């Protein structure tokens, strides 16, 4: 039970049962917070998740017609690199959480440092992905090699574009943090950017096992 709930109820003891009930109701209503960041980003997040969700399902059903081709091609992917990229993204999401906590405490400098760390990890994700793409292209694999590689290259490239977009958004937030545009009271933009970055992570949470692990 949050401390605020207990303290307000205790303070109401002298005001009688009615006052106590009224205050309890007020606190219960206030316990449901607004969505973090801009509402529009949440509509965008849902739209993006819907698009990716459809592509994941299409991949799964396309595979059921060519199981051997998909399984053999999937085994050529580096699961270690896929795992490394998953850990990189999860860690970057953790850095974003710390950035939000920092700005909520009024520490914009620390918040900017956590976000710079996130951008660095985003860069690492991009580097690993490009290494993977280069390895496949060097082996003569293209979009036309087979349906598995078509899905692998398309889905991971589409996701990569979102990572890059997230890095640009976070870089803009760092710039604004350095300018002192955000504070403990006003940090709407930081939460908006954070929500977008978490969405990128959330999508990879399904993409990684689907493309690299499940056979």
Partner 1 sequence: MNKQLNRFATIIWLVLVILTIGTFLIGEEVTAGKSVMLSVLLISLIKGQLIANYFMGLRHVSWLWRGIILGYFVIVGGMIAIAYLN
Interacting residues toward partner 1 by CB under 8 A: 31-36, 42, 46, 49, 53, 56-57, 60-61, 63-64, 71, 79-80, 82-83, 86-87, 90-91, 93-94, 96-98, 100-101, 104-105, 191, 194-195, 198, 201-202, 205-206, 208-210, 212-215
* Closest approach of partner 1 to the CB of residue 123, in Å: 19
User: Would you say 41 or 141 has its CB closer to partner 1?
Assistant: 41
Instruction: Specify the DSSP element, H or E, that contains 184.
Output: none
Paired tokens of 138: 């060097």
At residue 154's C-alpha, the angle toward residues 150 and 159, to 5°, is: 150
Q: Residue 45 and residue 43: Cα distance in Å, rounded?
A: 5
* Closest approach of partner 1 to the CB of residue 192, in Å: 12
* Closest approach of partner 1 to the CB of residue 17, in Å: 28
Q: Residue 92 and residue 115: Cα distance in Å, rounded?
A: 9
Task: State whether the Cα torsion 156-162-168-174 is positive or negative.
Answer: negative
Burial class (CB in 10 A: 0-12, 13-18, 19+), 207: buried
User: Would you say 82 or 189 has its CB closer to partner 1?
Assistant: 82
* Closest approach of partner 1 to the CB of residue 215, in Å: 4
Q: Residue 12 and residue 24: Cα distance in Å, rounded?
A: 9
User: Would you say 32 or 138 has its CB closer to partner 1?
Assistant: 32
* Closest approach of partner 1 to the CB of residue 33, in Å: 4
CB 122 within 8 A of CB 92: yes
User: Would you say 97 or 160 has its CB closer to partner 1?
Assistant: 97
User: Would you say 153 or 198 has its CB closer to partner 1?
Assistant: 198
């Amino acid at each position: 039970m949050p401390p605020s709930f207990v303290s307000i109820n205790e303070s109401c003891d002298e005001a009688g049962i009615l006052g106590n009930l009224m205050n309890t109701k007020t606190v219960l209503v206030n316990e449901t917070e607004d969505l973090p960041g801009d509402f529009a980003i949440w509509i965008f997040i849902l739209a993006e998740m819907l698009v990716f969700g459809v592509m994941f399902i299409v991949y799964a059903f396309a595979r059921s017609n060519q199981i051997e081709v998909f399984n053999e091609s999937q085994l050529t992917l580096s699961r270690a690199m896929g795992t490394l990229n998953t850990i990189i993204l999860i860690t970057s999401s953790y850095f974003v959480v710390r950035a939000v906590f920092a700005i909520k405490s009024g520490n914009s400098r620390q918040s900017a440092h956590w976000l710079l760390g996130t951008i660095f990890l985003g860069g690492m994700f991009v580097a690993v992905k490009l290494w993977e793409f280069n390895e496949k292209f060097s082996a003569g694999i293209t979009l036309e090699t087979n349906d598995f590689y078509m899905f692998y290259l398309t889905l991971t490239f589409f996701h990569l574009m979102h990572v890059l977009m997230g890095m640009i958004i976070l870089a803009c937030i760092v710039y604004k943090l350095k300018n002192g545009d955000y504070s403990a009271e006003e940090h709407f933009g930081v939460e908006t950017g954070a929500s977008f970055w978490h969405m990128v992570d959330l999508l990879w949470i399904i993409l990684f096992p689907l493309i690299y692990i499940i056979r």
